[in-house]
Amino acid sequence: MQKNELWYFSPLRKEKTASFKVNKTLNVWYDHGEGIGGTIIDLVILQFQTDISGALKKLQSIFSTGFRQVLTKDKKEIEPKSKILIKEIKPLSYFPLINYLQERKINISIAKNYLVEIYYKAGSKDYFAIGFKNDSG
């Protein structure tokens, strides 16, 4: 097993030996038992027997909960192992973050319309990042 690969039991069927591989670098999966693979969209389409529109709605509902609840195929609710606590959200002004955007040739006046500074705690460590506001702010 390589560092960028994770192995799971397939969410598409019952099995006793993990045959479902996720490549963290490429952000793709492959189910060796079924001989199929793809992106997260492809997986949601298969798992919930829907189309692209339905898959996007399902992913939106999962992501909009802030990862408080993740639904598996059999609809059991499971809690994530790590909790992220958003401590503060501020307008974009911190120089290292602005510098990061400028290095990537992102127009700062446009970025300030869409991006914010997020200060959060994951586990016992404090972090900061650039983020997009979601519908709940």
pLDDT bucket at 136, cuts 50 / 70 / 90 = low
Cα–Cα distance measured from residue 137 to residue 134, given in angstroms and rounded to the nearest whole number: 5
Q: What is the mean pLDDT of residues 20-29?
A: 89
The pTM of this model reads 0.46
pLDDT-derived band of residue 137, with 50, 70 and 90 as boundaries? low
Q: 84-91 and 77-78 as β-strands: parallel, antiparallel, unpaired?
A: unpaired
Predicted pLDDT at 72: 46
Tell how far CA 88 is from the center of its chain.
21
Q: Are 6 and 19 in contact (CB under 8 A)?
A: no
CA distance 33 to 17: 10
- CA–CA gap between residue 126 and residue 8 (Å, rounded): 30
Where do the structural domains in the chain lie, given as residue ranges?
5-78, 84-132
59 vs 7, residue with greater confidence: 7
Whether 66 shows a pLDDT value over 70: the answer reads no
- 5-78, CATH topology level: DNA Primase; Chain A (3.90.580)
